[in-house]
Amino acid sequence: MHKAKTVLDFHRMKAEGEKITVLTSYDFPMTGVIDAAGIDMILVGDSVGVVVAGFDNTLPVTMEDMIYHTRAVMRARPKAFVVADMPFLSYQTDLKSARLNAGLLVKEGGAAAVKIEGGVNVAETIAAITAMDIPVMGHIGLTPQSLHRMGGYKVQGKGDAQAEKLVEDARAVEAAGAFAIVLEGIPMGLAQRITAELTIPTIGIGAGPHCDGQVLVIHDILGLCSKYSPKFVKRYAELAPIIGEAVANYIADVKGGTFPEERHCFK
Ligand code: KIV
């Protein structure tokens, strides 16, 4: 049995050099499996819109979707620390609605923390939410909700000026009170520099090995998402063909009259 994680664990882990493991999860059964395996943190990501709902990007995801999926995750009573993503338009328009929506993810969803995309531009929002005692995780670099500004899912922080801007963003997120920050799609040297400079843990995705922890999308590592597989993903299983074979066997059994058998029937 592993102990339930809190924000204090992540600061200790950074100080002691213990890597922080993070995966996304969006439902009850998957959460039970990955929690029992010992994952440190679960992110109910707005990536749910892409890998579960089939949208082309995360922009259509709503607060209703995020509360629904966060509740499903929390019903598994995970020992992992659960962070819920704030979806597009739930925190960008004004501080009052940002505070209310963060509160709803905690009060109705049951999450322990929320995640917000952006740097200097959302520092005031991070400060307003942390002032309500809701821990906030920042997210800079390749921020999927900024897809149209970036002109696609492109690595960020490549030139000197862009790199300096990201360092400034990271500092602003930490100064605003975030307990951790996701660094997505940035050069590994830049991620190493930000990790060394910040006192809060950095969680990398496509940001190299020097971050304090790593996050990946569960569907990507299990081979359940065939549409798109980014360079930074490592596949630990290929479940799509296994599921396909099981379903083909079921179809053959039903069509051939070999299922159900007597042991599956009531008398
Ligand atoms: O939505 C998500 O899953 C994320 C992670 C990939 C960092 O933001």
Q: Which DSSP string do the residues of 141-164 spell out, in sequence order?
A: ES-GGGHHHHTSS-----SHHHHH
- Specify the amino acid at residue 137: M
Burial (CB count within 10 angstroms: exposed 0-12, middle 13-18, buried 19+), residue 193: middle
* Residue to substitute in 44, 52, 58 for testing ligand 1 pocket (most ligand atoms within 8 angstroms of CB): 58
The pLDDT assigned to 227 comes to: 65
How does residue 1 score in pLDDT terms, banded at 50, 70 and 90? low
Ligand 1 proximity of 220 Cβ (cutoff 6 Å): no
Q: Compute CA distances 151 → 2, 58, 110, 143, 144, whole Å.
A: 43, 15, 35, 12, 11
For the segment 26-57, what is each residue's pLDDT rounded down to a tens digit?
999 999 999 999 999 999 999 999 999 999 99
Model-level pTM?
0.97
* Class of the domain covering 7-236: alpha beta
For the segment 234-260, what is each residue's pLDDT rounded down to a tens digit?
999 999 999 999 999 999 999 999 999
Segment 212-224 mean pLDDT: 97
Q: Is the pLDDT of residue 228 over 80?
A: no
Ligand 1 proximity of 47 Cβ (cutoff 6 Å): yes
The pLDDT assigned to 101 comes to: 98
Task: Copy the structure tokens of residue 67.
Answer: 């509360």
Segment 146-175 mean pLDDT: 97
Q: In the chain, what are the domain boundaries?
A: 7-236, 239-266
Task: Copy the structure tokens of residue 48.
Answer: 């749910």
